[in-house]
Amino acid sequence: MNEMNRVRLMQGNEACVEGALAAGLRFFAGYPITPSTEIAELLSERLPRVGGRFIQMEDEIASMGAVIGASLAGAKSMTATSGPGFSLKQENIGYAALTEIPCVVVNVQRVGPSTGMPTSPAQGDVMQARWGTHGDHPAVVYTPWSVGETYSLTVKCFNTAEELRTPVILLMDEVVGHMREKVALPAVGDLEIVNRRKPDKPSRDVYLPYDPGDGDIPPLAAFGDGYRFHVTGLTHDMRGFPTNDSKKAEYLHRRICDKVAKRRERITIVESRDTADADVVVVAYGGSARPASRAVTLARGAGVKAGFVRLVTIWPFPAEEVASLATHASRVLVPEMNLGQIAGEVERALKGRAPVTHLGKVGGVLFTPEEILDAIKGV
C-alpha cells in the first residue's frame, strides 16, 4: 500500500487482516464462520502475495492445531473464528499456553450459546476467553472498539504473543468486525514489531526449550533449526520431556501464569475521561463502549457528573486501574452485551467501595446511547 491510500474506508475484519500482515503474519488456518469469515477470505488472497500460506482446514480444531504447528515451524500464525468455533478450539488453545507456542486467536463474537445469532453482536465470550480451556493457564485478551484500533491491537496481539511465548486473543464483536470506518493506517516502518527470542547457542549445543535462564520466558527455536527438541502437552521439565515430579510441575504451571501476571501493567491498556469528579462511572469495552461514550457525553450535557472508563485489555483484568478511576464514584455502571461478565470483575476490583450496576443486552442489538443514559441517570 502506498502513502496515498493509507487513509481508507474499511471494515473491522479488514483492519484485523491489515494489522496481522503488518505484524508479520505468514500463516493462517481457519474454518468458515460468521461473522469472522472476511478475515479468512481476505487472507486467502493476501498471504500468498507476501509468500505466506493460507489453508482452510476441515474443522475449527484442526485450524488451531495447524496454527500451533506452523508457529513451531517458525511462522507467525493466526486463526479467526466466532463463538462455536472458539469453543472447539479451546483444548488446543490450552496446549499452546502450556507448550508456550506464540499464536493469535481472533474471536468475532456473536450471540450464543450454541449457534445463537450468527450475524448479531454479543459479548458473551468474555469469560470463555479467560477460562475456556481446562486447567490453570494464562490469558491475554484485547478488545477493540473501532476499526482503527482493531488494526493497532492486532499488531499488539502478535507482539505480545511473540514476546511472552503465549497465545493471545483478540476478542472482537460483530459490531466492530462488520462496521466500516475511515482509518489512517500508520506506515509499516513506524510500527514496533516484536519477534520471538531464539536461542543464541549454536545448534549443536544442548538447547533446553523450557529453560528461561535468568528471565522467565525461554527462547524458542524453530523446527528445522537443528536443535532437535521435544514439545508435549504433558507437564514437562526444562528439557521438554514429561515429568511427574511435583516440584517441576509446580514450577512450570506457576511460571506460565506468572510470566503474564508479572507484566500485567505493561499489558494493560485502559482509557478514561471525566473520571476525576465523576459521581457515576461507566466502565465499558468493545462495541458497547461506543454508545457508552456517547451516553457519558450526553449525561455531562444534562448536568450529571458522569465519567467514562474503557477497557482495551480485559485479561488480565485491569483491577487496579478500574479501582483507582472509580475512587470517588458513588455508583459504577457496566453496560455489556451479555448477562453480566465483566461487571463481576469490576465488583471484585472495587471491593464494595461503590455499588456496581450491570446493564445487559443479549437480543443481538447494540445499546443505544439513550438506554445507557437512562441507566446513568438511574431511571
**Nearest of 61, 86, 75, 67 to residue 29 by alpha carbon:** 67
Q: How many residues bind other proteins (CB under 8 A)?
A: 48
Q: What is the CA radius of gyration of the chain?
A: 21
- Pairing, β 270-273 against β 306-311: antiparallel
Report the residue number, 206 or 379, with the smaller CB distance to other proteins: 206
Q: Is residue 34 helix, strand or coil? A: coil
Q: Which backbone phi and psi does 227 adopt, to 5 degrees? A: -85, -25
Quick check: 104 binds other proteins (CB under 8 A)? no
Alpha-carbon gap, residue 119 to 63, rounded angstroms: 22
* Least distance from other proteins to the Cβ atom of residue 18, Å: 17
Rounded distance, CA 367 to CA 359, Å?
10
Main-chain phi, psi angles of 121, to 5 degrees: -75, 150
Cell of 162: 511473540
- Give the range of 35-43, 69-77, 312-320, 328-336 binding other proteins by CB under 8 A: 69-77
29 binds other proteins (CB under 8 A): yes
Which CB, 142 or 227, lies closer to other proteins?
A: 227
CB of 366 to other proteins, least distance (A): 36
* Binding range to other proteins, per CB under 8 A, among 184-192, 221-229, 249-257, 303-311: 221-229
Q: Taking CB under 8 A as the rule, does residue 23 contact other proteins?
A: no
- 58 is an interface residue for other proteins by CB under 8 A: yes
The residue written with cell numbers 473464528 in the block is 81
Cα separation, 351 vs 363, whole angstroms: 31
Contact yes or no for 27/76 (Cβ under 8 A): yes
70 binds other proteins (CB under 8 A): yes
Q: Is 224 in the site for other proteins (CB under 8 A)?
A: yes
92 contacts other proteins (rule: CB under 8 A): yes
Which of residues 59, 245, 265, 374 is near other proteins by CB under 8 A?
A: 59
Contact 235, 252 (CB under 8 A): yes
Applying CB under 8 A, the span of 61-69, 289-297, 323-331, 333-341 interacting with other proteins comes to 61-69
* 226 near other proteins, judged by CB under 8 A: yes
Residue 74 engages other proteins in binding (rule: CB under 8 A): yes
With beta carbons less than 8 A apart as the criterion, state whether 29 and 47 touch. no
Which amino acid does the sequence have at 113? P
201 binds other proteins (CB under 8 A): no
Contact with other proteins (CB under 8 A) among 20, 72, 129, 171: 72
From 26-34, 109-117, 169-177, 324-332, give the range in contact with other proteins by CB under 8 A: 26-34
26 neighbors 47 (Cβ within 8 angstroms):
yes
Q: Does 135 bind other proteins (CB under 8 A)?
A: no
Among 43, 75, 295, 309, binds other proteins (CB under 8 A): 75
- The Cα–Cα gap between 77 and 231 comes to 17
Kindly list the residues in this chain that would bind other proteins in the complex (CB under 8 A): 26-27, 29, 45, 48-49, 51, 53, 55, 57-59, 61-75, 77, 91-92, 95, 203, 222-234, 239, 241-242
